[in-house]
Structure formats: C-alpha cells, structure tokens
Structure 1
Amino acid sequence: MNTLSLTDTQRRILDHAIEHTAGRIDWFPDNIKGGARRKVLDGLLKRGLIALNGGDHCVTAEGFAAVGRTPPVPISPSAETEMPASNAEAAEANATGKRIQKSREDSKQAEVIRMLHRPEGATIPQICAETGWQAHTVRGVFAGAFKKKLGLTLVSEKPEGGDRIYKIA
C-alpha cells in the first residue's frame, strides 16, 4: 500500500513523465514557473521520487510506486550514456565511476577539442573566430562541458604580451 501523499501538481508531473517521456521530467503545469518549479523538483528529490541522471531529472522506482505504477526494469545510472570506444576505456570508466561521453565529430565542440589538442594549442580569440561563439561562451564550455562533463584537463600559459594559450593536457 502506498503511504506517500502527493500534491496534485507532483502527481501530474510524475504521471506525465512516466506516460510521455520514459520517466524524464520535462513538463510542468502552466501555473508552475521559475522558483516554483525548483521547489517541486527539490521536494520530489528529497523524497527520493526522482533522481538526477546526467542533466535530467528522472522518476525513480519509488516515484513509479507513489503514483501506483510498476517501474520498468532497473537501469544503471550510466546506461543512457554512450558505450566507451574500447575495453580499456570501459574499465577506467567503471573504476572511476565517470560517465564517458562522446561528441559528434562535426560539432563545434569537437572542433574546439581538435584545436586544443594541437601542439600550439589555441587562444580564446582563435576559438571565437572558428566557432562564432563569444569569449564568455568559450570559457563556459571549458568549465562546464570540458572539465565537468568530459573530464578533460585544460592547461594554459600566457606568453609575454600575447593571448593566453589553452591546451588539453
């Protein structure tokens, strides 16, 4: 028997996620905006009804049970990521608990990674010229996508009178 009491909003959000997006939370009622969305998500997280999976909030087995649904076969947290390119990468990913993500080879992100792998590296103005991004976007990609999500180590050096040069270590 289910002893959890849900608000109407929580129930509607969980039901919608289960029925329409395979458990991923990406819809809210029209009257739930901004800070209210954050509060609903926080409440569901604290009760264990949803969990973070990558950058998405997904309904947990407890969330399925709370709305009287049978959860699907359990999926490991890294099951939705792409498979590693080699067995060595798979072993390292399992040992460190890190997700392995790959980028499209024709994307701007992939182009920036190629530029950073060059022996001479790349400056932010060079990356901006190649991608059309603004400098703050490049710095954000360095911190978010490259360091946090992809786990890359960036090093930089500033030559006398020149722009800072970034490389992937």
Structure 2
Amino acid sequence: MIKLTDTQTIILSAGAQRPDNIALPLPKGLAGAAAKMAVSKMIEHGWLQEVDANLRRGEPLWRETGDGHGTTLVVTDAGLLAIGIEPVVVKTVAAIRDHAAKAAAPKPPSQRAGTKQAQVIAMLQRSDGATIAEIVEATQWQSHTVRGSIAGVLKKKLGLLITTQKVEGRGTVYGIPLCDHKQ
C-alpha cells in the first residue's frame, strides 16, 4: 500500500467527494511554496492532474496560464486508488447524484384537455376574448375564482400573456394573443 502524508490524504479524500473530483480548495493553512511543493509531488505520483478550468461552471483556479485561461486540479483514478477508493464507485456515486439532481428538477406545467382551465384558455383565445361574467357563466366558478385563476395559474404558473381592454357595452375583456408566452 502507498504511504501518503496527512496532507496528501486530506487533499485526495476531499477531492473524491466533490463533483468531477476537483481537488481545490486545498486545506486551510496550505498555501504558497508548501502548497506548490505538495501538489507537484502529487502530480509526479499521478494522483493529481492539472486540467483546464471551466470558469463558466465556477471551477476553482489552481494557477493562471498567462493566456487568459486557468487550470484546476483533479484527483485521478490513481489518486482514488491511493486512498483506497475504487474509481468505479466514485463514478457511480457521481452518476447517481447527477441523476437525482435531474429527477428533482420540476417539470414544466402542462395543460390538460377537457378541463375548466382548458375551457377558460379557449375562451380567452377567441378573437373577441371573454369577460369575467362570461367565464363565470361557462365554468360555474365564482368571479373571484376566475380572477385568481387568470392571475395565478394562467399568468404565473403557465406563463401566458393575458391582455385586458375596456369594451363599451361589455366591460373589461380579457384575452390571450396568438403569441401567448412571455418572452
């Protein structure tokens, strides 16, 4: 088994727990020449690798290359093995973490056909729109429910653009223009 210093063990263990096995930030108190020497030895052993940092993803910088780019440090498969972790296990855990993050992402709201909500949307999409009273008559909802549905569900949740205009003889007419989503 490979003999690691405490500092090397801490750097590799912390990196193994981070996304993409990024070894930065280094432990507190490790800076300057001591950090450079520790990292250089770990790169020589093949436990760390210097790779281009993706600044858009917020990856921490190890050093700047002088051409406007920077590098970060990544724990290699050999580094994982040095601390007794199988690289396959780390990759599996990372894949599970990624899958859980994607599964937790909320799906966008959808409209169901044949519901009162769909009926309201259809009424608002007519060329002459609809008034609150017309929607109340068609849905048998209370007027406050219609107003709440327009403001909460249609505008906020579904992101539909609702227009209003005063029409003599009808009152306030609500409508959804053909380009119905907010930009």
TM range (shorter): 0.3 to 0.5
Larger helix share, 1 or 2: 2
Greater RCO (Cα-Cα under 8 Å, separation 6 or more): 2
- What TM-score do you get using the length of structure 1 for normalisation? 0.44
